Amino acid sequence: DVFDEWRPWDDGSEPELDAEFASDTDQSNPDICRSGTIVSERNVPLSVGLPRVKSGANLEVFVALNGLTTGVIVKVEDPRCLGTLAQVAAEELAAGPIDDTIIEPKRLLSNTGRPVRNWDDVSLSDFYVHVLLDREEWVWPGIRVGFSWTVAGRRLRTVAMSP
């Protein structure tokens, strides 16, 4: 099982709730950040997507909506293009164009709810991130019943996949 050896990113600190997100600022070089490419079907299970992107090869990232464990794999042109990654993934996962005046901002968070500020954060998150829309609050993904992880010194375990 792909999850037997996987342990989500935890440096022992509390996640910062009011941090600056890289997805807010990547338009600093629009010549580089022109597009991202969806390289998978929609609703790929994390158990399939994680092994594919885990190495970080080809600038591919598994992106899920807030709290979900299905998503898409997105390839970006440059590791500085995290805003493009967020936009492309959000549009694919929402099954259509997203109006920036309605669903803003799009935020990237790690698999443990930490703000993604740069490509190093994407790497620490095993190339598995969540895109949050319109100031959503972070929701932990269940992964699977029985899965456990430690975040900021607290042990979490999934006991059910629905409330």
Within a 13 Å sphere around the CA of 130, how many CA atoms are in the beta-carbon half?
Answer: 24
Whole-structure pTM value:
0.80
DSSP three-state, residue 135: coil
Q: Which amino acid is at 34?
A: R
Sign of the Cα pseudo-torsion (73, 110, 125, 48, in order): negative
Residue identified by tokens 């979490």 is 156
Cα–Cα distance, 63 to 88 (Å, whole number): 10
Mean pLDDT split into 10-residue runs, the chain, 163 residues: 61 58 53 77 86 80 89 87 84 68 70 84 88 80 83 82 76
Q: Which segments of the chain are extended strands (E)? A: 36-38, 44-45, 60-65, 70-76, 106-109, 128-133, 148-151, 154-157
Cα–Cα distance, 126 to 121 (Å, whole number): 9
**From the CB of residue 108, how many other CB atoms can be counted at a distance below 10 Å?**
28
Q: What is the pLDDT of residue 62?
A: 92
Q: What is the pLDDT of residue 33?
A: 72
Cα–Cα distance, 20 to 34 (Å, whole number): 22
